[in-house]
Structure 1
Amino acid sequence: MRQTVVIFAALATVVTGCTPTSYSGYAKSGVTRETAAYDDTACSVEANKLFPAATFTTSVYSGYHGGYGGYAGGYWGGYPGYWGGSHVQVQDANAGMRAEHRADCMTLKGYTPVTHPICTEDQLAGRQYAAIPGAPVPATNICALRAKGGGVALIDLSKPI
């Protein structure tokens, strides 16, 4: 059963700054989004089994931060030094191998890696769009919307509803 999902521009509110400007995925002609998601999940599960998480932590100490200024006439003018804190870095030694295996697996299934830009508010201009079925190849009129609840929908800017 094919359902049309209506995407509202309100869902596409993009906060500038740390927000990514593109969405990377895979495209394959004639494949539904459900099939593409299933294949991607299967490749990810296989990669996780072959290259499980191998995390290790490292404590990073900030050390001493020197001050400036000095003591003048009964008044401390300046900024005293202090000992900085520390933080823990967590790294996964197998993350790169998992990502590479997932990409190879999707390529073997006939998919091509693609990158779609995130839709801007100016492009949407308050209009509504239906999500594109399937896994389309990049085009100047296709962009990605981030939904408030998570996930991404691809829309065709030349086909408002």
Structure 2
Amino acid sequence: MRQTLMAFAALTTVLASCAPTSYSGYAKSGVTRETAALDDTACSVEANKLFPAATFTTTVYSGYHGGYGGYAGGYWGGYPGYWGGSHVQVRDANASMRAEHRADCMTLKGYAAVNHPICTDDQISGRKYAPIAGAPKPAPNICALRAKGGGVALIDLNKPL
């Protein structure tokens, strides 16, 4: 039982370390979030037209895994060797060019790339917040909160409801 609990704690720690710690977006003073989202979508569509997905797949074989012990039909302990499985890796050759074009497009529209930290449970501590209107620049009191139904909402920790 103790080993199970330790394994669960280790798995939880590993999964938590995979969670993002910040939300990347774009900021421009005087712009609503809706306008920022429309501009971002327009830049993404343009990037997708200029640099369409160019995916390449590669099958990676795991190879032969040799057995050990004196295996003879299962009588002497040990186990037989076996051929491992395989998996397919997919790579999009144009992904970095699309991302770069989108960033350049947003910069030309007057936006600045920003990173907002993800709100921690301690920061929220049971209080409710209204989403911020607009596309704010980073500040110590602004963080990103996962919205119900998906997406992200930026909140001002200095303004609870």
Task: Please indicate the TM-score interval, normalised by the length of the shorter structure.
Answer: 0.7 to 0.9
Q: How do 1:10-159 residues align onto structure 2 when only pairs under 5 Å count? A: 16-71=16-71, 75-159=75-159
Q: TM-score, normalised by structure 1?
A: 0.84
Change (3 A) 1:59 1:134: same
- Higher fraction of helix: 2
Structure 2 alignment gaps of length 5 or more: 1-14
> What is the CA–CA distance in structure 1 between the aligned matches of 2:16 and 2:149, rounded to whole Å?
18
Deviation, structure 1 residue 102: 0.1
Partner residue, 1:4: none
> What is the CA–CA distance in structure 2 between the aligned matches of 1:76 and 1:119, rounded to whole Å?
57
Runs in 1 of length 4+ with deviation above 2 angstroms?
15-18, 66-72, 74-81
Structure 1 alignment gaps of length 5 or more: 1-14
> What is the CA–CA distance in structure 1 between the aligned matches of 2:20 and 2:79, rounded to whole Å?
38
What is the aligned length?
A: 146
Write out per-residue CA displacement over residues 111-159 of structure 1, whole angstroms, 9 at most, x where no aligned residue. 1101111111111000000001111111111110112421100001111
The amino acid that maps onto 2:87 is H
Write out per-residue CA displacement over residues 70-120 of structure 1, whole angstroms, 9 at most, x where no aligned residue. 359x84333433211011111111111000000000001111101111111
Q: TM-score, normalised by structure 2?
A: 0.84
**Counterpart of 2:16 in 1: which secondary structure?**
coil
Partner residue, 1:160: 160
- Higher fraction of strand: 1
Q: Which has the higher contact order (CA 8 A, sep 6+)?
A: 1
> What is the CA–CA distance in structure 2 between the aligned matches of 1:129 and 1:137, rounded to whole Å?
18
> What is the CA–CA distance in structure 1 between the aligned matches of 2:67 and 2:36, rounded to whole Å?
57
> What is the CA–CA distance in structure 1 between the aligned matches of 2:25 and 2:81, rounded to whole Å?
49
Aligned sequence identity (%): 86
**8 Å CA contact retained: 2:25, 2:113:** yes
**8 Å CA contact retained: 2:22, 2:117:** yes
**Counterpart of 1:38 in 2: which secondary structure?**
helix
